[in-house]
Structure formats: C-alpha cells, structure tokens
Amino acid sequence: MPDYRVSTTSYTEDLSVKILRQLGITAKRNNITTTTAVDLITDINGVKIDVQYSQDFEKWRDLRFDHVSAYSKGEVNKEYSKIGIFKKFESNYGFKVDKVGKHYQNDYLDAIIVLFYNKKLEIKDATKDYNPDKVLLATKEKLLKYIDENLDECIKNTKLNDKSKLGDIHGSAFIPIKVSKFNKDKNCYFGTIEELKSKSEEIKAYLGCKKETYKTL
C-alpha cells in the first residue's frame, strides 16, 4: 500500500518548484538525498524554502505553524527553555520542549511556501498539476515577528498532538494562524498563482533571490 502522506508531500514539493518558476524564481528539491534537509533551495543566493500544503482551507482559513517538534512531561509553572515562546508553552501546559520546530532551528530555513486547497487534494494522476486555490509566500523573519507580537494569543490557541496512547512519550504542538490576519499585519504575498505572477519582481526581492544588477560607469 503506497504511503499517501509521503507521496503527497513529494508531489507538493515538486509542484512548488513549478509555481516558483512561474514567478521567475528557479529552485530545486534539496531533500532527495538527505530527507531531513530543507525542502527547496533557490539558485540565486541559496534561499532555503520550506514547503507546506493545507487542505480544507475554505473551512479553516489558517496556516499551521509547527513550533514544537517534540515535548515530554514536565511541570506546570516550570520553565526549561530559554526562548520566550517555549518558556510560556512549558509553564502553561506542564511540558518540557525536547525539540523545537524547524522555524527555530538555526540556519534551517529562510522562507515558506504554502499551497492552500479549499477542498481535499486528490492526486489521481501524478503527472498532472493540481494547482492550489491560494499560495502564501512568507519569510521566517515575518513569521517569527508575528508570533512574538501575538505570543499570548498564540500560546492560548496552541493545539497539542498527544501520542501517549500510541506508546510514544513525546508529543508535538502547533499554532493555527489566521492567514488573513497574518497577511494584513505583515504584508506577505498571498493570492492565486496568477495574482502572484503580477508581483514576481517584488516577491523575488522580498525572498532575497533577486539577481543583483550593477551599473557600469
């Protein structure tokens, strides 16, 4: 039986390369040999891009921000970490953060591209392009700044993935972020592929993968 999750992940990463190409950005898969490496890397300036896809966007309207990759049992009102978001998470929920999410890992990613599908993504033919209804492009800097500025709300809205019933002592956690609010606050790039194509030069500059041009004297 095929691994649907892995095949869908791989499919959306390849599709993201094609979408970026439509925006004038050349990128390639970076995680084929080393599966734990960041998903994509651009040819100009080596910008590291993480790929996400989201289904049922019409219903939820949010972006999933995975801030805790692994947590274990701790004590309420006790802090184990040094970073603000994890200190609050540990103190509020009584857990100890054992592994931070990829956005907080040093030099792992520079930006994200998120493919939003209003319904379920059904890949009936992997040779065809099932384009998303909307695409979000945002830098890590903008994401982390948004989290810091809305920290109490983000901690309150945190969703836990408790794996104890499966025999795993570690759980994980994510924060659902309303895309409309995030985009309004941080002026990222969100829209249909056609809408983003009209802003391709802005997007290249925003992501830091625009080729420098020098004037000759």
Q: Quick one: what percent of the chain has pLDDT higher than 70? A: 95
Q: Domain extents for the chain?
A: 4-207
pLDDT at 5: 47
Q: In the predicted model, what is the mean pLDDT of residues 156-182? A: 92
Q: Between 99 and 5, where is the model more confident?
A: 99
Would you say residue 76 has pLDDT above 80? yes
Question: Residue 10's Cα: distance from chain center in Å?
Answer: 15
Query: What's the CA angle centered on 37, arms 34 and 40, to 5 degrees?
Result: 110
pTM: 0.92
Question: Residue 25's Cα: distance from chain center in Å?
Answer: 18
- The closest alpha carbon to 114, from 38, 23, 189, belongs to 189
Would you say residue 217 has pLDDT above 70? no
pLDDT tens by residue, 23-39: 999 999 999 999 999 99
* Radius of gyration of the chain measured on its C-alpha atoms: 18
